Amino acid sequence: MFSGDLKARRARLEYEHKQQAERNRQRLEKERILKERALQRQEEEEKQRLLVIEKEIKVQRRIQERKQKETERNNGVYLKVNLLAFGVDDAFAEFRGVRRNRDKIVLPPSVGHRMEIQNAVGLNGPMYFRLERSSYKEGAELEREEGNIDRGGKKWKGTLNTPPLMERVRHAGRERGGGIGQIGDEKSKRTDCVVDGKGTGCGISNNDNNNNNNN
C-alpha cells in the first residue's frame, strides 16, 4: 500500500510538472508573439514616418523648383493676391476709361502699389498675370481643389483645369474704386465684373477667342 501511494504521488507530481511546463511554454509563446507584433508595429510606424519625410522633401523640392522657375520667368517679381469679382455693365467700364473690357480686367490700386515696390511697373505694353482658382493643402502635393465664387448673389462652382489661363490685365490706376473684368463659367459664358479697391478682386476669362486675341 505504501508503494501504491508513492506511485500515485509521483504520477501527480509528473502531471503537475507537465502542466507547469505547458503553462510556461504558452506564456513564452505569447510573449514572443507580442514582441513580434510590437516590432512589426514599430517597423511600420518607422516606414510611414520615412514616407512622410520623403513626401515632404519632394514637396519642398517641387516648391523650390517652381519658385526658381517663377523667378527666372518673372525676373524676381512676386505677386499673389486673393481677389473677389463683382458684376458691372459696359457703361461703368467706359466711365473708367477701359476699352474692349470684355477681354481684360482691371486690378485695384493696391496691386499696383505692390508692383511698384518691386520696381515692376513703368514699362510700356501690357502686363500678364496668371489667374487661377486653386488652393494648396499644407504639407500636401500642391493639389488643385474645387472652388466657389459668389457672382451677383448666384454661386458659381467649378474647377479650373490646368494649365491656368493666361489673361491680359490692365492696371486700374491710383484712384480708389474698382476695376473692370470678366469671369468665365464651366460653359465659357461671359459675365462682366468689377474688382473692389481693397485689393480683393479678380476676373478670369475662359474664352478661346479671347485667348487668341492675347497671343
Q: What is the pLDDT of residues 134-164, one digit of tens each?
A: 554 433 343 333 333 333 333 333 333 323 3
Amino acid at 185: D
Specify burial of residue 171 (Cβ count, 10 A radius: 0-12, 13-18, 19+).
Answer: middle
Task: Please report the pLDDT score of residue 101 as a whole number.
Answer: 67
Give the model's confidence band at 88: pLDDT under 50 very low, under 70 low, under 90 confident, else very high.
low
Lowest average pLDDT, out of 102-111, 115-124, 129-138, goes to 129-138
Task: Please report the pLDDT score of residue 25 as a whole number.
Answer: 92
Cβ atoms within 10 Å, residue 121? 15
pLDDT at residue 167 above 70?
no
Q: How many CA atoms lie within 13 A of 6 on its CB side?
A: 3
3-class SS string, 25-64: HHHHHHHHHHHHHHHHHHHHHHHHHHHHHHHHHHHHHHHH
Domain boundaries, the chain: 1-76, 80-214
Give the model's confidence band at 107: pLDDT under 50 very low, under 70 low, under 90 confident, else very high.
confident
For residues 149 and 183, the answer to whether their CB atoms sit within 8 Å is yes
Give the model's confidence band at 26: pLDDT under 50 very low, under 70 low, under 90 confident, else very high.
very high
Averaged pLDDT of the chain: 64
**Predicted TM-score of the model (pTM):** 0.35
Give the model's confidence band at 126: pLDDT under 50 very low, under 70 low, under 90 confident, else very high.
low
The pLDDT tens digits for 34-70 are 999 999 999 999 999 999 999 999 999 999 998 888 7
164: left (phi over 0), alpha (psi -120 to 50) or beta: beta
